[in-house]
Structure 1
């Protein structure tokens, strides 16, 4: 007999399908889901992440809001006087480094950017008119740097007092006849930014180019034709790759614009293509212009980087931005810092270990902020609780 007909098959225990499975938890039958990740910050009503954004009153402070300067000569004197800060007693730098800082400051030309002047005087139209009048009278000299102003705005026009420019000529390694002829040529052409090469003797022309007072204008044209942007060729980060070495005539570090495309000095060019061509124009320059431009460009970029690291809105209070510019340096006036230093505890970094002194040679924060304000890179605004704020435009 087949097994499926026996009683053993029919006597097998069967569990009803309708019987509910017993469980210790009444929620065991629910669908399992992973716990949602907790947000570190709540959402605003518009769905954006909450962050420490400054609550401004809607009022943008105008340029020169706190300045009491009224004339261009006053603005020039103030700019040159407040360029660097004094070296502190506890600088954290040895004597060699201190000498390097002082020599670097001494070699810089007494230039002032037009953007800085506008940040100190409220009436921009009157300021431009006053600058033009002083240039026509011969008390100011305008220095134009071609290929600048696109990457960092306002980095193409500078002014220098005529007396300071003549002092640079007198202190240069030039013959007396060359100095007298060049100064007389400048007095006869007070508005000139470019000078024809035919007005200068060939021997004096070579000496002036070597000293950094003249630059071949054709160098700008060649570089501009060889690239889509002239400003990228003269960017501060690429100056070291452009400067040639081992040429017949040593190129002064100031007149880095005196270079052809591809890093070839004008001294190695043929006579018909060099600046000795009487049909070429020469651009006025000053010695040590290259280090000055690199310093100015690095300072502006560093200030913008500090604002970018402050928040995603690229804004910060002025007092906080000043602290970050100075670095976490120890305070010499705070009694708490003095007590920590006496106990051997950490009271802050020495100034010589910060970027302000390593790369920027002790540039003043207010001076750099005025530069960025005049160039239109940043703007100041009022806040409801933390005073004046600064943000990138």
Structure 2
């Protein structure tokens, strides 16, 4: 058992995916965790999986930390209640929008003037396609960003406790101002969700034979379109001003593209299309590389494998024997044959040698 930075007890208000995962992660450090949820069944499941012990309203609690893992539209209300009920505790929330929560808290007249000194807004950038406590994992936050968004009122002690929570869950800590955080996630999280949903919505009435041509490109773009609509209604509503500003820029680009495609052979049209794609290349190239390091360009190759157990493991084992590190991996399947297509990215300087060696070993590599 690794030593903990928190002393506990920790009260987690909300036993969904994130709340239950926080409980599991802290319990692995031996911290006393109490789980509370408005849904008795959700709370019971969280307790059953080991995320903590059940909240008892009759128990006198003096938690070191209260983690509010409530839906975004009631987060501020639950935070205010926790600050009032546990006057010695630090209170953090994990909602994905920070500015609106802080603004609402600043209007709560019943809070003591010093109460906001014990509050720190945070946002763990982690999740799964599945929801609820049954999907919880104690390692959910391992090596994932956890953003601390203290306000001007947040005390150094409160910030330290919030930081300890993230460290105990093996997350990577970042610090943003609330408004700066909301602007950043509007671009890197909320915009991709919107664009993915818009693209996927075009598929609703598409003939099935047309969808049979779909490859990794469509799957990559639409993967997050399967997200929970009720949650995203709350997130987008809470961060509407920041999202709207970005979407207006997207609309300008779409209008430009529509005008160009309306006359694709007009003078300058092809140049404009090329510039639009090149602008995307430039933006994509700025996305950080592995482990948050500088952006790195890799070379891709595709290897055909039989669609049967053990083939991908065998391929990766042989690549390891060759001494080449796989930087990224994607898997697709042939629409008509029982073969898989493993797309691998490697450093450009190692691509030719890897292709040659895999070919010698009997693998079919698509150039």
Question: Which is helix-richer, 1 or 2?
Answer: 2
TM score, norm. by length of structure 1: 0.22
Question: Which is strand-richer, 1 or 2?
Answer: 2
Flag the structure with larger Rg: 1
Indicate the structure whose relative CO is greater, using CA pairs within 8 Å and at least 6 residues apart: 1
TM score, norm. by length of structure 2: 0.23
